[in-house]
Chains A and B, each alone.
Chain A
Amino acid sequence: MKYKIFVAAAIFFLLLTNLSIVYSQEIENSKSKIQIHDPWIRPAAQGSNTALFFVVENKSDKPDTIYSAKSSLSEVVEIHEMFKKGDMMGMRQVEFVVVLPNSKVEFKPRDIHVMLIKTKKDLKIGDEGEAVLLFKNAGAIKVKAEIRDMPKMNGMKH
């Protein structure tokens, strides 16, 4: 009896690891096809809010979706978009951002950002901060972002 349970468990375990290998390979494939360029975070005093900006490039032939983000830099992390109402500006949360096949989406000022709400420490200019972006297909992608006042000049489009 014990033996049977052991065999069943072993088969189950093997299946599981096999499955997860296949699954993680798939993730690896989509992961290498999602690239994050020029990530940066605005400086923020401890206990305040800031935003993470970057460019996502999807080099695969399937769309992917950023549905969440995580970071130990702040207590809450959300995806937000800005909106204009006359000469007033506001902000609201969005559930996800789709990145179409072979295209780029720019998380940029006055547009969309990953918001870091209630920062746990001072984020000083020149320092680096980490966050993880969660994609539906590509899984979790880590980004290391420089703390700076504005995007690098070559990243700016006029």
Chain B
Amino acid sequence: MKKLIFTLSLIFVVYSCGGKFDTIEDLSDEKYNLVDQNNSRINFPGIVKGKMAVVGYIFTNCPDICPLTTNNMRLIQERLKEEKINNIEFVSISFDPLVDKPGVLRKFAEIRNLDLSNWTFLTGEKNVIDSLLKKVQVFAVPGDSTVFQSGEKIIYYVHTDRIQIMDTDGKIRKNYPGSSINIDEIVEDIKSLAD
């Protein structure tokens, strides 16, 4: 009887672990031509091929949620470094490519003293970004805005609050709320997926 319970619970554990990291989206056959913060042409997910990636979605005019998401990615990066877990890449993708030109993304990273040795900020043509967002199920719709006397307008997006883990094969394996992610949880998930 004890043996049976043990076997059953083992099956349950194995099963639930498998379910935990089901493929959400498969990007392995995709090739999005984008540019990074240095205006270099990049193909995503090609740039992180063969490595696991922590991917976040932002727009730089965002005062709260996206800086939180970015800061959480920095905390994850620091934790992995401390625990000597290498080979993990970080990618922040802008869903506001008309505003977030490479220079804007570079300044966004610089003012936060981010370590870009394994972290890339991506932007690009709006139609390419839009098709990528659709694929990964990240949504951004214009909300409130600020209009200046000069006629300049800043649009604030209502957007999916998201960080994702993409495995070494370019498959999205888990979604997290970017601004309120549990750092311990994602670090543990990265460890189990790396095994």
Are both chains from one complex? yes
Binding site for B on A (CB under 8 A): 42-45, 48-51, 75-76, 78, 80, 82, 85, 87-93, 109-110, 113, 115-118, 122-125, 149-150
Q: Does B123 contact A (CB under 8 A)?
A: no
**Size range of the chain B interface in the assembly:** 20 to 34
Which single member of A45, A90, A113 contacts B63 (CB below 8 Å)?
A: A113
Contact A45 B108 (CB under 8 A): yes
Q: Does B71 contact A (CB under 8 A)?
A: yes
A interface, over-half SS: strand
Q: Which residues of chain A have C-beta atoms less than 8 A from B62's C-beta?
A: 49, 91
26 residue pairs from A and B, CB less than 8 Å apart: A43-B111, A43-B112, A45-B104, A48-B61, A48-B107, A49-B62, A50-B67, A51-B63, A75-B148, A76-B146, A78-B146, A87-B161, A88-B139, A88-B158, A90-B144, A90-B157, A90-B159, A91-B62, A91-B63, A91-B144, A91-B156, A93-B144, A110-B179, A117-B154, A118-B148, A122-B111
B104 shortest CB reach to chain A, Å = 8
Please name the residue on chain A nearest to B139 by beta carbon. Answer: A88
Q: Which residues of chain B have C-beta atoms less than 8 A from A49's C-beta?
A: 61-63, 154
Q: Does B92 contact A (CB under 8 A)?
A: no
Our count of residue pairs bridging A and B at CB distance below 8 angstroms stands at 88
Q: A51-B63, A109-B64 are in contact. Are A89 and B146 (CB under 8 A)?
A: no
Known A51-B63, A115-B63, A149-B112; 15 more pairs at CB < 8 Å = A42-B63, A45-B111, A76-B146, A78-B146, A87-B160, A91-B63, A91-B143, A91-B156, A93-B144, A110-B179, A117-B146, A118-B148, A122-B111, A125-B113, A149-B71
Contact A150 B161 (CB under 8 A): no
A151 shortest CB reach to chain B, Å = 11
Q: Which residues of chain B have C-beta atoms less than 8 A from A76's C-beta?
A: 146, 148
Q: CA of A85 to CA of B139 in the docked complex: distance in angstroms?
A: 12
Which single member of B74, B111, B143 contacts A90 (CB below 8 Å)?
A: B143
Q: Does B177 contact A (CB under 8 A)?
A: yes
Contact B111 A89 (CB under 8 A): no
Contact A123 B111 (CB under 8 A): yes
Contact A87 B144 (CB under 8 A): no
Q: Which residues of chain A have C-beta atoms less than 8 A from B148's C-beta?
A: 75-76, 118
Closest 6 CB pairs of A and B: A90-B158, A45-B107, A51-B63, A89-B161, A45-B111, A49-B63
Within 8 A of A (CB), among B159-180: 159-162, 177, 179-180
Q: Which residues of chain B have C-beta atoms less than 8 A from A113's C-beta?
A: 63-64
A92 shortest CB reach to chain B, Å = 5
Contact B68 A110 (CB under 8 A): yes
A110 shortest CB reach to chain B, Å = 6
Contact A88 B160 (CB under 8 A): yes
A17 shortest CB reach to chain B, Å = 38
Please name the residue on chain A nearest to B69 by beta carbon. Answer: A89
Q: CA of A91 to CA of B104 in the docked complex: distance in angstroms?
A: 21
Q: Which residues of chain A have C-beta atoms less than 8 A from B74's C-beta?
A: 149
B67 shortest CB reach to chain A, Å = 5
Q: Which residues of chain A have C-beta atoms less than 8 A from B64's C-beta?
A: 51, 82, 91, 109-110, 113
Contact A89 B158 (CB under 8 A): yes
